[in-house]
A = this chain, B = another copy of it.
Amino acid sequence: MVKYLKQDEAIKIDELLFNEYKFSVDQLMELAGVSCADAIARCYPDRQRVLVACGPGNNGGDGLVCSRHLKHYGYLPTVLYPKQPDNELYKRLAQQCKTVDIPILTNVEECGDVNKKFDIIVDALFGFSFKPPVRPLFVPIIDLLKSIKLPICSIDIPSGWHVENGKPDDGIQPELLISLTAPKLCAKSFCGKFHYLGGRFVPFALAEQYELNLPLYPGTDKCVPLQA
């Protein structure tokens, strides 16, 4: 059975991918974002209008890349990106979205009536390095995700959940969770419809070292469904 990672294991594997296996953030984020877009397209082929809520870190970066690929797949993404860090990579990723006519909003109020204007929400707020509590700027977005009627697709971690302990009593309830590299412990309390694994780049030696027991990705697929 696939291994569910503790927070420190996830952090360590991430460090190894960069330092030992010599990947750049650009590379892995591109591959992670592609696999998220592919999983979303597979689960929601007919839900075109996508609101992608992006946080200030790498999870948000994955969300920006995912948005761009969704646009190329014919979807109509809108990015909600309230805190845009002064970081060269994130600025480039945001610019890449803008040049394919993806609107970037900075305030949740700009989204309007989300239940009417969108068909689906991608939660790319916080990833595996998240530690509670949620910062005030993001509280209204988490509240929106809690109250919304649309399906939520969470990238790697359902935002606001504890990476190891899982869903808090009033936590968001994603319908699709796309675990990246390997699922984190919190995914054990995921009870949505679809659980996918993405990020088909884990070197075999690293997977062995951490006994990840990753499932086989079929053919050239960039994502694979995980058994409940």
**Chain A residues close to B by CB (< 8 Å):** 20-24, 26-27, 30-31, 34, 37-38, 41-42, 68-69, 72-73, 89, 91-92, 95-96, 99-101, 200-201, 203-205, 217, 219-220, 222
Contacts and interface: CB of A to CB of B under 8 A. Distances in A.
A211 to B, nearest CB: 18
Nearest to A204: B100
A41 B220 contact: yes
B220 A24 contact: no
Contact of A38 (B24, B91, B201, B220): B220
A207 to B, nearest CB: 10
A205 B99 CA distance: 8
Counting chain B CB atoms within 10 Å of each CB, the highest count among A22, A42, A69, A92 belongs to A22
Contacts of A100: 203-205
A69 B222 CA distance: 10
Contacts of A34: 31, 34
A201 B72 contact: yes
A127 to B, nearest CB: 19
Q: Which 5 A/B pairs are nearest by Cβ-Cβ distance? A: A26-B26, A22-B92, A22-B95, A38-B220, A24-B26
